[in-house]
Chains A and B, each alone.
Chain A
Amino acid sequence: MATVRVLVGTRKGAFILTSDAARRDWDINGPFFAGWEIYHIKGSSVNPNCIYASQSTAWFGQLIQRSDDGGATWTPVSNEFVYQGDLGTHQWYDGTQHPWEFKRVWVLEPSPTDAEVVYAGVEDAALFRSDDGGQSWRELPALRQAKGSLWQPGAGGMCLHSILLDPTDPQRLFTAISAAGAFRSDDGGQSWRPATHGLKSNWELPDPEAEIGHCVHSITMHPSRPQVLFMQKHWDVMRSDDAGENWYEISGNLPSDFGFPIAVHAHEPETIYVVPIQSDSEHYPPEGRLRVYRSRTGGNEWEALTHGLPQAHCYVNVLRSAMAVDALDPCGVYFGTTGGQVYVSPDSGDHWRAIVQHLPPVLSVEVQTLR
């Protein structure tokens, strides 16, 4: 009998929600690391009992935790993230150059082939890799050479928040960085180039089609079709059919094309989900109605999914890492809100219910399907 394990990172700890395949009755465990910010918690697809968590506070800095028993117990691993080579500088808010400073780990991406290999995306933006299960970390510094001196922190910091590993080509990686853009490597991270052609930021950049500076909020792919990428940008929902060489807009009939997360259905590579947000300065759903939008056509044609979601007076946000899918049939869709709710739809978005209502603000949601 399959089960699902939902890994939830919040402002004040991690929570683990488990259910059988019906996804109706849930056990809620936590908080783990109570009082700490858990920016991301994600399990290995190779060894689902191996889970990594990014734990931090402004007071005590960054820790990385690892569990080898599905989250029951945890062991701190290395928190030593040292930029390699010339530290270099990036643009600061006032336009001057500013040296890179490590602040926190935003995202942990375990390898699809080796549970001991895991990537970490950090602020100030850089990519690190561990080959020993988090016991040590080394930077892949070539990423910062992809015009890093032009990168500038956005309001949320200069964070590397998205890492995509091509399951068919271990040499190909994608990363996305707020207010810098999307980047691609075809040689395992030894060299990188911007993957931003076709992005337009009409209100945010003096040159709307500049190579560097687009505020990418999240990117995703379906593992069966790694040439096709989907992106939620600051404004605009975008798609690439050639592994990031060119992007085109698929916002279509969305009520707002501003938002943070984007997810792909587990079994239908053309079915995608976004959560429209009113605007860049009004981070809540349009009209106070919490709606997930689904496109079954790979974009442009969107339908509102509302059954079970609050349709009045709802002013929460859904952050970039706070949406995920399971691999059951029908596919389950999950998201967490800044109001502390975690919602599940066990039928691909048609019906929703809250698993839990009063957690701290949710920073990330990941799902493991256990068979």
Chain B
Amino acid sequence: MIRVVLPHHLRTLANVGKEIELEVSEPVTLTTALNALEAAYPLLRGTIRDRSTGQRRPLIRFFACGQDLSHESPDVPLPAAVASGAEPLLIVGAMAGG
């Protein structure tokens, strides 16, 4: 079981609370975590990853364990603390102000 924290607008869209729990089979990577998230909440398809390319949308960030994982390969295993559920995977709308 992993824990995922969604940004405000996606919580509203998916009609969930701040944190959700997902079953993700090994290996736990961004790809497998997001696949599980989109399978559980199909409304989120296209809001985190581009529907055509599968790439992270430019203003989405992935944080966990105090690290920015946004630029890591999506197929690299996530930190063990995320895979075990000790720490959440944070999906964040990037700062884009001025």
Chain A contact residues, CB within 8 Å of chain B: 35-36, 57-63, 76, 79-82, 102
Contacts and interface: CB of A to CB of B under 8 A. Distances in A.
B50 interface: yes
A79 B45 contact: yes
**B contact face: mostly helix, strand, loop, or mixed:** loop
Contacts of A102: 51-52
A36 B52 contact: no
Interface string B27-54: 0000000000000000101111011100
Given A59-B96, A76-B43, 10 more contacts: A35-B9, A58-B96, A59-B7, A60-B9, A60-B93, A61-B47, A63-B46, A76-B13, A79-B46, A102-B52
Contacts of A80: 45-46, 51
A82 B10 CA distance: 22
Nearest to A102: B52
5 contacts: A35-B9, A58-B58, A59-B93, A63-B46, A79-B46
Interface of B: 7-10, 13, 43, 45-48, 50-52, 57-60, 93-94, 96
Contacts, number: 46
Nearest to B58: A58
Contact of A59 (B43, B45, B50, B60): B60
Contacts of B57: 59-61
Contact of A58 (B7, B13, B51, B59): B59
B52 A82 contact: yes
A60 B96 contact: no
Nearest to A82: B52
Contacts of A82: 51-52
B46 A61 contact: yes
Contacts of A61: 46-47, 50-51, 57
